[in-house]
A and B are shown apart, each in its own frame.
Chain A
């Protein structure tokens, strides 16, 4: 157990946390502005990854793959908003859950139909492959470091968009009082489609970036979706800041827990039992974290509504 290992795991936790943020930010925006719970957000993550893998495989360019992921996921998001989601805003949560569950079935099996059941692989671009030396003699994969950078940049851009721009003003106004901003002449339908497509693009970007580390396959989105829900419960619904803090907490807890809990148990248990106990406890760590937040602050760390 060296300090460099600890540092490396902290970076891994940051990396998975920042990717979770891209998912959770879209979900929380969509809920905050439109009051919609979207289970199909994981499908948009998957769409992004598949678009990137297909485009990168075809052209050989990772950058074009990322463009395809953003465009493909945003287009898929805008399409389902116009055709399906729009009819759900006035419905109760049960109908929203069911309709977006149906969308998952359609997206997942549709993708399997087009691409087959075997996973696709998206290669890390040449320029970003290999390790990089960090101060203190730590060697860390350059690509993962780059994703942390991209994620932080997108997070900053999102805060700027929501906080400083005219669109952001409308989005925040839409969260507070949709009738009023419609009365003030804002085209609320277009705003909703925009917010949904924006959330979809963020999910698609995350899917493509993570797709180069893991494999690109059907069903890859739902585990991330559920983690993003945990993030939102911890951070508080509708809060971008909450999504960021929650995502980093979940990413770090999950990564550090799976590495260090078995080590911790070995201090006072037999190795085999310690490995088992560590694995079991670390599989539950983030849910225990969520339960703790629920007991302490039921509406989340930054939530205003219960």
Chain B
């Protein structure tokens, strides 16, 4: 077991260094498109790390995490939309013009998507198993249709944000600097996940996934543990949504699409469930395949679907499992 753990640690370190070196090389070689691809992968990885807190640690199969991704995106879109059009977002109790400052946008995106995750979790966690999957999927779809009907913020067409939002001391329009920001967020999210997994809370959550009766017997409430995990999970995915909106400088209902929720789960599975870097590998493989296969065939989703089917039916443990050895001892 120790050897496997140490090997996973080395794989993780190599991946983390790769995420620093490859974009720096692309920057030096004058290939901004590679940096954009890497940024996209890193942002998806943040979303999947968020989901992994619910799915990997808590065993909650949420098929509605695009809702939080979209809420984060719309938080950015609405704040920036008001700032760029000089229409105050609200005038009472004080005049608020909106904002194009990333730190504030991130806080709002994190808080609002966390709040929504709390409310959805409160309802969905009254049930479990297959009900939970269907309910999260349904609430995700609710946000999708709501955003389409919300004409004030672009309805079906979405919102265009002309200038990327700013970050104090950085030029966010420079691809490598924006990448650096996203990478820092990813690193922070990974740190949170790693610390969480070893914290008393994480251990209790893990126990609640495996034997809820015993957790209840020692006086902890499994539902409250799961609700907390789901809230944090939604908040981190919402933060990723704000970054994604800034990468594209565009927000639309497609950020709420249920396919995206499915893809987030796919990232985790490709990489390996409950592995720290699983979502990162999964997002990288997905964005890479999207780019490579997408260039070869217009219908690349067929091949991607077949690959995914093969992984689910025959390959357990994901990419990290293949490199670093079988599942961890406590699973």
Q: Are A94 and B141 in contact (CB under 8 A)?
A: no
A229:B134 contact, CB within 8 angstroms: yes
CA distance in complex: A99, B305 (Å): 9
Question: Smallest distance from the beta carbon of A30 to chain B beta carbons, Å?
Answer: 11
Q: Is the CB of A103 within 8 A of B305?
A: yes
- Size of the B side of the interface (Cβ < 8 Å), in residues, is 43
Contact B135 A233 (CB under 8 A): yes
Number of A-B contacts (CB under 8 A): 123
Q: Could you say which residues of chain B place their CB within 8 Å of the CB of A283?
A: 142, 145-146, 148-149
Instruction: Please indicate the chain A residues that have their CB under 8 angstroms from the CB of B129 in the complex.
Output: 93
User: Is B266's CB within 8 Å of the partner chain A?
Assistant: yes
Given contacts A106-B309, A279-B149, A306-B128, contact A94 B301 (CB under 8 A): no
In Å, the complex CA distance between A175 and B45 comes to 40
When each residue 115-158 of chain B gets 1 if its CB lies under 8 Å from chain A and 0 otherwise, what string results?
00000000110111111011101110110011011111000000
Q: Is the CB of A31 within 8 A of B308?
A: no
Contact at A104–B305, with CB atoms within 8 Å? yes
A295 with B126: CB separation less than 8 A: yes
- Taking a contact as CB atoms under 8 Å apart, the answer to whether B146 and A108 are in contact is no
Note all chain B residues with C-beta closer than 8 A to A222.
258
- We find that the number of chain A residues with CB closer than 8 angstroms to chain B is 44
Tell me whether A98 and B266 are in contact (CB under 8 A): yes
Q: Across the interface, which residues of B come within 8 angstroms of A57, CB to CB?
A: none
Q: Which residues of B (136-184) have their CB < 8 Å from a CB of A?
A: 137-139, 141-142, 145-146, 148-152
Q: In the complex, what residues of B have CB within 8 A of residue A287's CB?
A: 138-139, 141-142
Query: CA separation between A305 and B309, bound complex, in Å?
Result: 30
The reply to whether the CB of B247 lies closer than 8 angstroms to some CB of chain A is no
Cα distance A282–B313 in the bound complex, in angstroms: 40
Instruction: Please tell me which one of the listed residues B127, B138, B269, B305 contacts residue A109 in the complex, with CB atoms under 8 A apart.
Output: B305
Interchain CB contact (< 8 A) of B301 among A97, A109, A223, A232: A109
A266, chain B: closest CB distance, angstroms: 16
Q: Does B112 sit at the interface, judged by CB under 8 A?
A: no
Q: How far is the CA of A305 from the CA of B127 in the complex (A)?
A: 10
- In the bound complex, do residue B305 and residue A112 qualify as a contact, i.e. CB atoms below 8 Å apart? no
A149 within 8 A of B: no
Assuming the contacts A99-B312, A233-B131, A283-B149, asked whether A94 and B299 have C-beta atoms less than 8 A apart, the reply is: no
Looking across the interface, which residue of chain B has its beta carbon closest to that of A292? B123
Contact, CB under 8 Å: A105 / B134 = no
Question: B212 at the A/B interface (Cβ < 8 Å)?
Answer: no
**Residue B235 at the A interface, CB < 8 A?**
no
Let me know if B137 and A99 touch, CB within 8 A.
no
B302 at the interface (CB under 8 A from A): yes
User: Do A276 and B151 touch across chains, with their CB atoms under 8 A apart?
Assistant: yes
Across the interface, do B131 and A280 meet the contact criterion of CB distance under 8 Å? no
Q: Are B126 and A99 in contact (CB under 8 A)?
A: no
Determine the distance from Cα of A248 to Cα of B215 in the docked complex, in whole angstroms.
41
* Interface status of A161 (Cβ within 8 A of chain B): no
A284 within 8 A of partner (CB):
yes
| Contact bitstring B264-297, A, C-beta under 8 A = 1, else 0 | 0110010001000000000000000000000000
Q: How far is the CA of A97 from the CA of B137 in the complex (A)?
A: 11
A99 touches B133 (CB 8 A): no
In chain A, positions 125-154 with a C-beta closer than 8 Å to chain B are none
B10 close to A (CB within 8 Å): no
Would you call A291 and B123 a contact (CB within 8 A)?
Answer: yes
B266 touches A101 (CB 8 A): yes
Q: Please, which residues of chain A bring their CB within 8 A of the CB of B300? A: 109
CA distance A279 to B219 in the complex (A): 46
**Is the Cβ of A93 less than 8 Å from the Cβ of B133?**
yes
Report Cα–Cα, A26/B131, bound state, in Å. Answer: 16
User: Among the listed A98, A105, A233, A306, which residue makes an inter-chain contact with B265, where contact means beta carbons less than 8 Å apart?
Assistant: A98
Residues of B with C-beta under 8 A to A290: 135, 138
B304 at the interface (CB under 8 A from A): yes
Residue pairs across A and B with Cβ atoms less than 8 A apart, 25 shown, are: A37-B134, A93-B129, A94-B269, A98-B269, A99-B309, A99-B312, A105-B305, A106-B305, A106-B309, A108-B301, A109-B299, A226-B138, A229-B134, A233-B138, A237-B131, A280-B146, A284-B142, A287-B138, A290-B135, A290-B138, A291-B123, A294-B135, A298-B126, A306-B127, A306-B131
**B-to-A contact residues, CB < 8 Å:** 55, 61, 63, 123-124, 126-131, 133-135, 137-139, 141-142, 145-146, 148-152, 258, 262, 265-266, 269, 273, 299-302, 304-306, 308-309, 312-313
Interface residues of A (CB under 8 A from B): 31, 37, 39, 84, 87, 93-95, 97-99, 101-106, 108-110, 112-113, 222-223, 226, 229-230, 232-233, 237, 276, 279-280, 282-284, 287, 290-291, 294-295, 298-299, 306
16 more CB-based (< 8 A) A-B contacts, given A84-B313, A223-B141, A282-B149: A39-B262, A93-B130, A94-B269, A97-B265, A101-B265, A103-B309, A104-B305, A105-B301, A106-B306, A222-B258, A276-B152, A280-B149, A283-B142, A294-B123, A298-B131, A299-B127
